[in-house]
Amino acid sequence: GCKLNGKFYPFGFIERTEDCYTCHCWETAMGCCSLFTNPVDYDGKKCKVIMNKKRCDYDVVEKNDPSKHCSFQIRV
């Protein structure tokens, strides 16, 4: 198998890892692609980014009140 971020995966196709990647594990290598996009163009002084591993995306929320979402763009 292959090791990614401290966890072992079997040879073959891995639909989704714990860290939101899709991978293929060969005997000699492992190749992965992310299942998420990165938020950009948000107010970094007022807002913070939190990874949501259940949805494999990010929440951009206010630092002082995480119940309030901030506007942002997505880089693909």
Domain boundaries, the chain: 2-34, 39-74
Statement: residue 70 has pLDDT above 80:
yes
Q: What is the distance between the alpha carbons of residues 37 and 20, in angstroms, rounded to a whole number?
A: 11
Q: What is the distance between the alpha carbons of residues 26 and 11, in angstroms, rounded to a whole number?
A: 6
Architecture of domain 39-74: Single Sheet (2.20)
CA atoms within 13 Å, Cβ hemisphere of 44: 3
Which pLDDT does position 73 carry in this prediction?
A: 82
Statement: residue 44 has pLDDT above 80:
yes
pTM: 0.70
pLDDT in tens, 20-38: 999 999 999 999 999 988 8
Q: What is the distance between the alpha carbons of residues 14 and 3, in angstroms, rounded to a whole number?
A: 12
pLDDT in tens, 1-25: 999 989 999 999 999 998 999 999 9
Which pLDDT does position 37 carry in this prediction?
A: 84
Q: How far is CA 15 from CA 22, 28, 33, 60, 69, in A?
A: 5, 19, 10, 26, 30
